[in-house]
Amino acid sequence: MAKTNKSKAVEKQIKVRQVRSLIGSKPIHKGTLRALGLGRIGREHVLPDRPEIRGMLRNVAHLVVVEEIQ
């Protein structure tokens, strides 16, 4: 039986806060914000700092503020 290493590498996290409204935005941007767990101004969500998430944030950079959590 193979041994498994149960310790996981500590993954960096980022806090994303929506600061602009979705009114007048493209449908793809609305869907991206929904996938990030946002949808109203002032909502915050903590997400893992991964390339997939960073790419989604790049698409809606004009609607959100991103902070790195140490």
Per-residue pLDDT reduced to its tens digit, 18-40: 999 999 999 999 999 999 999 99
Residue 7 has pLDDT above 60, yes or no: no
Q: Measured between alpha carbons, how far is 20 from 2 in angstroms, rounded to an integer? A: 50
Residue 10 has pLDDT above 80, yes or no: no
Q: Find where tokens 């602009």 sit.
A: 20
φ, ψ dihedrals at 64, nearest 5°:
-130, 165
pTM, two decimals, is 0.79
